[in-house]
Amino acid sequence: MTGGGRVIGFDPGLRVTGWGIVDAHSGRLSHVANGELKPDPAGEIADRLAELFVGLTGIVEEFAPDAAAVEEVFVHRSASAALKLGMARGTALVVSANAGLPVAEYTPRSVKKALVGGGGADKAQVQYMVRLLLPGCNPAGADAADALAVAIAHAHRLPFTAAAG
């Protein structure tokens, strides 16, 4: 993606899926949008995944990103929780693939390293850096901030041109 582009980042979860969109042009980042999808917690897993699919598809269609970045599953406290997280992550991957987007995957540690300089950073440090790198951005919540962090981590890997974006 020569010259940067628009990146959507996902912090997937079955209870809350954060999403964040940044534009990356000429070495500069700008905030486009962010939010959180919260499927009905009383719903069946299949229904919750369908809600995520429809919601994320609508966001991708509305904002037309050039690339997607999804946070990878980390070792979870239980196999059941990891499986549910993986299902939400799979939904974000399918939505991105259906839209024809190239998809990058990042571990939580690599996202923290890209933003803060160290893989052991805590959530407060990551949120601080998101606000610092995207002035005026007000994340919709912790999961939206994490999704913006994923998008920023990917944007830092994009090639930039000297031309104004």
Catalytic residue IDs: 11, 71, 143
Helix (H, G, I), strand (E, B) or coil at 110: helix
Nearest-10 crossing angle of helices 142-155, 123-133: 60
% helix, strand, coil for the chain, step of 5: 45, 20, 35
Angle at which helices 123-133 and 108-116 pack, to 10 degrees?
50
Rounded to an integer, what distance in angstroms lies between the CA atom of residue 132 and that of residue 18? 19
Cβ density class 129-160: b for 16+ within 10 Å, e for less: bbbebbeebebbebbbbbbbbbbbbbbeebeb
Sign of the CA dihedral with 123 first, then 145, 105, and 6 last: negative
